[in-house]
Amino acid sequence: MSVQQQALPLGPVIDRDTGHFRGDHLLVAEMVASGSKVLDVGCGDGDLLQLLESRGIDGRGIELSREGVNRCVAKGLAVVQGDADTDLVNYPDDAFDYVILSQTLQATRQPKVVLENLLRIGRRAIVSFPNFGFWRMRLQLLVGGHMPRTENLPATWYDTPNIHFCTIKDFVQLCGEINVKMERAVALDLYGRPLRLSAPWWFWNMFGEQGVFLLSRAEKGKH
């Protein structure tokens, strides 16, 4: 069955007290085994790193903005300034158990190269991104005739850092092109809650506001 036709491989959804953490961060943390060594690429203010460390995970971060790095360091987090597009090539193979790219893929200049580097540096990668195929985005473009804006994509078209908008369908197709294994995929609704129904890709592409994927390298020679 082709990647375009298959349903996404959904894992079990765990009920949890969300506290002050974002729903996608909680889901990402559930995907990481305790005691793992993790690199969070584009870690922002370090909220996800703090959550991971509270669960016994050895977390490091790389962040483009100096302000973000300073806030992370002030929290006692191990974060350096760097650019996902240019600096991931400097990390050795299999340096981490997991490499995380949370809400950052759409802001990279070379998403395909970045994704390949994630799975070179880490034995597994976790990628989350806003789904540009979400029905509200489509409606804003169809009815309003302008580029959509949401909580996850609040900037106007002329000052947004996002340069490669993608849909869940687009990402699934990319994984197929570079022979990446999807171990788990979850679509989140507007409130950061997992959609609990197993469904084909078109359903998640229409009703998922975000996508969260746990990825690993596929065996060589298998597509």
Cα separation, 186 vs 28, in Å, equals 10
Q: What is the mean pLDDT of residues 181-196?
A: 87
Q: What is the mean pLDDT of residues 141-169?
A: 68
DSSP secondary structure of 125-169: EEEEEE-TTSHHHHHIIIII-S----SSS-S-TTT-S------HH
Q: Among 92, 86, 53, which residue's Cα sits nearest to residue 72? A: 53
Cα separation, 41 vs 16, in Å, equals 25
Q: How are beta strands 58-63 and 180-188 bridged, if at all?
A: unpaired
The pLDDT assigned to 71 comes to 96
pLDDT digit string, tens, across residues 64-88: 999 999 999 999 999 999 999 999 9
Q: How are beta strands 180-188 and 210-217 bridged, if at all?
A: antiparallel
- Beta bridge pairs of residue 187: 211
Percent of the chain with pLDDT over 90: 55
Cα separation, 125 vs 143, in Å, equals 37
C-alpha count within 13 angstroms, C-beta hemisphere, residue 110: 12
The pLDDT assigned to 97 comes to 98
